[in-house]
A and B are shown apart, each in its own frame.
Chain A
Amino acid sequence: MKEQTPGFRVSFLKSAVLSNPVLVQMVGLCPAVAATTNVRSAVLISAALCLDLIVTCVLASALMKRIPRAVRVALYLGIGLALICPLLYFIETYTLMNLGLSTKVYLPLLAVNAVTALHCEKVAVKNPVRTAFSDAAAVGLGASLVFLIIGTLREVLGSGAFAGIDLDLPISLKGLSLPFGCFILLGFLAAALQAFSPYLRQAQTREPDAAQPQPAQADVQDDLWSDILEAEAVSNERLAALDEFTERLIGGEEDAQ
């Protein structure tokens, strides 16, 4: 038990913070932008994303390694729907929570979110269950952390309230409740993360990393989602050179020229 704790800490630091799915890999933007206008929605979306991500990754690692990739990605959708639709039904029927229209629509959309598909294909199906769980938990926490920060900032600064309680602030920045405001907030959060990355990397190198997930590299070229990773994911080494990320975003066009 003592040996697993530092491993998860390293895994968390890498998957949740340094390679944050939302701020660095730029996936899972749809729930971040549209469904995190307040803290309550952010909590709900975060919980649903973590549930979907962890269960799908564990099932993919345990049962789907021999299933063809084309069928597997459809199964991710099926698992997501099997988890999220009953959850949505339960919330609507058995609780008094009045979900806003956007939260109601965006909950089922989590079943096709890129974060789950990416980590199932890139990590879960190529690694043992424990590694898949560890990676999914860390990534889910990383995305949830961003959703909660964004949800809090947008509700407090945009609506002058926190969790529905009016804070009676003298000014409100209405734009933050709108999608463009969220993109701008995400930009500043991503910049803050990049500013602190060197210190976090130093902390990471001091930790033993025996238990951190090591995605299998075989068959990467044919991986369904490898293009997303090529374009968006910044590996631990490449975090040292921040410029490379943008260069890779337009790598195809530069090659053509």
Chain B
Amino acid sequence: MKMISTLLITVLYTVFVQNLVMSAGLGMSEAIRLAAKPEKFRSLAVMITAFSVITGTICGGLSRIPAIATLPFAGRAAVYGGVLAAVYLLAALLLALLKPQDRRLRGTLGIAALNTLVYAVPFLNEIAAYSFAESLFSGLAAGAAFVLAAAVIGQGAKLLANNSNIPPIFRGSPALFLYVGLISLGFLGFTGTSLFQ
């Protein structure tokens, strides 16, 4: 029971309290890209979740090996980056063998794997000292956090585009930045931080 509650807390913390997209801008470019291509929402979200889980879990396992655990931070960063590159290349190879004609999906694969959100998951697992199971759920939650953020940004972009009351110099990226800022402020509410202390 304690294990389940710990995993649940890990998921809720990663999705809401420390939503990686909204609180750190991780994967923000990809989230905005999804606003333009909603038909890719499912495939990109699934891929990002899968890469987060696989990379986070492998790196979590590797970080328990004494030779890697004792490396300086820069060394561990190189190891995690190597793992990410290897996982991506393996996935690209599998996709080329299984679906050789699907070039669009291969393009999406690169964007889903090589982004700051997926690469940040092993670091966050390390900082939080997550166990193997927690690392697994943290990866899943990172994917869920991305889906939530991308959905919110997509809906916001649609509303902003249809709003003719926005002054001309704020149309486009300025309005979207302000919108994302306000949503990020909303997510800050989950942390209990006060701006007036």
Contact = CB atoms under 8 A, between A and B. Distances in A.
Given A77-B85, A243-B172, A33 B111 contact: no
A251 B77 CA distance: 38
B32 A245 contact: no
A190 interface: yes
A164 interface: no
A184 B157 contact: no
Interface of B is mostly: helix
Contacts, number: 236
B147 interface: no
Nearest to B161: A246
Interface of B: 22-30, 32-33, 35-40, 72-75, 77-78, 80-82, 84-85, 88-89, 92, 96, 103, 106-107, 109-111, 114-116, 118-120, 123, 127, 154, 157-158, 160-161, 168-178, 180-182, 184-185, 188, 193, 195-197
15 contacts: A26-B177, A30-B27, A34-B25, A78-B85, A101-B127, A107-B77, A114-B29, A174-B196, A184-B182, A186-B181, A227-B36, A242-B172, A243-B172, A247-B161, A250-B157
B173 A24 contact: yes
A250 B158 CA distance: 6
Contacts of B32: 26, 231-232, 249
The residue among B32, B82, B127 with the most chain A CB atoms within 10 A of its own CB is B32
Interface of A: 23-24, 26-34, 69-71, 73-74, 76-78, 80-81, 84-86, 88-89, 92-93, 101, 104-105, 107-109, 111-114, 117, 174-175, 178-184, 186-188, 190-192, 194-195, 222-228, 230-232, 234, 242-243, 245-253, 256
